[in-house]
Structure 1
């Protein structure tokens, strides 16, 4: 099994790396701006913390992509392809944590009936409501995530990279937090004390749902589950096609697939394979995605442990 980067995905992988570095740069500037203008607003504080947590998927992606194609070692004889799976789990936990944090903080604020106020501020000799600074910071925090999240989705699909896909969901959480935060700050300015926390709560359920779904897929992958779709817990389409092809060739065999990072490993448990397929011949989906099948092995039932 080759551990090098498949040439079919090298351009997309380089693009993904550039996008993640751009993400970290933009998020660092957003965190700085949000921290300077947060004040007493619940939506601003939660958006600031959420922006810091949203750096996690980009960081773990960049770390994993440097590790996953390293050659096997004595202590890691199967290589490091699961680095991407571990990064996916960390990203899923971060996304779920953002949703849970937003839900808890906003819920506690509503239960306590906290009446936050936004005082005036003097800047360059002019005195004005500091809420306008908060709104400007929130609007600034919306634009980069919208653009970056939109750019990452097609790359994530071509790479079958769940870490990058989760990061695009995190970008979605970023801009949703910003938009809801604007509504919360304006609501405070209009005297609606509950608007600030309600705005944060509205987005929390959506983010938490995405995070929990990603967490289920990541857990299944690390538990050697069958390959899942990029955005759901259902079996991936190319995995279904591969199972169908192998069953046609080996009707009496037990066909098993598992996923390590972006790659599929297939195992055919049968008494004999008179004409074993090669990797290229076994791939039933789009030819340009044939790199997905990293290993096809044949195992006698006696060695399988179920005989």
Structure 2
């Protein structure tokens, strides 16, 4: 007695259920917006529907990436599959930028050739969309803080919520003043906002995929800190990169004064690297004096080396 099934309260499973719910709601909303856009003749409503469909797609991609990323390392992916989420973020942000560019084009064309719009239909459908967008954003907000993947999907939803606000304003101006141009103007504003966030976030994703130095880590400072460890003579051939969003890695050659100090130096270095959030390190030890050791390579030019 007293046995509890904690799996039902697993935060990751709850997060996945939220994403799945958000996908279903956004697909349904997209259908409503398409019908409303066709009936009303509103470009901004159709644009909002297109963006909303991208929201559903981005959430689905994010969900698939999470499940793929959970797979353990194997002989084909020795570091695991966590970068699937980074790839998903790249896909979602690239899609966001493409949608932004398309909306710019459509808005400009609508300025050139205005079309009649039914204001009330626009307002009602956009109001429903706004409610759904806000709910979806709330479902993904907590997860977006620690994941590029979810953040990219979250940005889709936030921009879509703002788009819905813009569509409501456009419909109101059309009803009150018959300003048909506001539909294209709002579409242009939506596209500008979409492009701003897309171009702001995508460099971070590309930097990770290019194995760039993690944000907040200065290689010179890391090397200096490593060289302050007792027994370390010199640090060279240093590489620091991100395995994924939450794991940093380092590779370096460590020249030490004596083979006898290798274990102490290794422990001190790894402890120090953890303070820089570097949890995975590969250190190749070299010795300034040639000493006998079965674990190390033969003497070459007076130096001996071994890896850890």
Find the residue that maps to 2:241 and give its secondary structure: strand
* Counterpart-to-counterpart distance in 1, 2:241 and 2:36: 47
Measured after TM superposition, the shift of residue 196 of structure 1 is: 0.5
Paired position in structure 1 for 2:189: 202
Q: Could you tell me the TM-score, scaled by structure 2's length? A: 0.75
What is the match of residue 45 of structure 1? 46
RMSD (CA atoms)? 2.8
Note the C-alpha offset of 1:272. 3.9
Cα distance change, pair 25–246 in 1 and its aligned pair in 2 (3 A): farther
For structure 1, which runs of at least 5 residues remain unmatched after alignment?
A: 1-9, 119-129, 228-234, 303-307
Q: Distance in 1 between matches of 2:154 and 2:95?
A: 13
Structure 2 residue 174 is matched with structure 1 residue 192? no
In structure 1, the partner of 2:115 is 116
Q: CA deviation at 1:34?
A: 0.6
CA contact (8 A) 1:245 1:284 kept: no
Query: Conserved in 2, the CA contact under 8 Å of 1:43 and 1:185?
Result: no
- Write the distance in 2 (CA, Å) between the matches of 1:16 and 1:247: 41
How many angstroms does 1:177 deviate by?
0.9
Q: In the alignment, which residue of structure 2 is the partner of 1:298?
A: 283
SS in 2 for 1:38: helix
- The alpha-carbon deviation at position 281 of structure 1 amounts to 6.2
Measured after TM superposition, the shift of residue 260 of structure 1 is 3.3
Q: Deviations over 1:145-190 (max 9, x none)?
A: 2233245333322xx3101111111111111111111122223333
Report whether the alignment pairs 1:249 with 2:249: no
Q: Does residue 179 in structure 1 map to residue 158 in structure 2?
A: no
| Per-residue deviation, residues 204-231 of structure 1 (Å, max 9, x unmatched) | 112101111222222221111123xxxx
Does 1:223 pair with 2:217? Answer: no
TM-score scaled by length of structure 1: 0.75
**Contact 1:117–1:188, Cα closer than 8 Å, also in 2:** no
The correspondence of residues 1-307 of structure 1 with structure 2, limited to 5 A, is 11-39=10-38, 40-110=41-111, 112=112, 114-118=113-117, 130-157=118-145, 160-189=146-175, 190-227=177-214, 235=215, 237=216, 239=217, 244=221, 247-250=224-227, 252-254=234-236, 255-272=238-255, 274=262, 275-277=265-267, 282-284=273-275, 295-299=280-284
Aligned 8 A contact 1:161 1:261 in 2: no
CA, structure 1 residues 98+269, in 2 after alignment: closer, same or farther (shift >3 Å)?
Answer: same
Q: Is the 8 A contact 2:58 2:92 kept in 1?
A: yes
Alpha-carbon displacement from aligned partner over 1:84-143 (angstroms, at most 9, x marks no partner):
121111111122122212222112222x2x22213xxxxxxxxxxx53232111011112
Higher relative contact order (CA 8 A, sep 6+): 1
- Displacement of 1:58: 1.0
Partner of 1:7: none
2: distance between equivalents of 1:36 and 1:70?
40
Q: 1:215 to 1:182 in 2, by over 3 A?
A: same
Uncovered stretches (5+) of structure 2, i.e. residues with no partner: 1-8, 229-233, 257-261, 287-302, 304-308
State the SS of the aligned residue for 1:54.
helix
**Structure 1 pair 131/295, CA: closer, same or farther in 2 (3 Å)?**
same
SS of 1:253 mapped into structure 2: strand
Equivalent residue pairs, number: 262
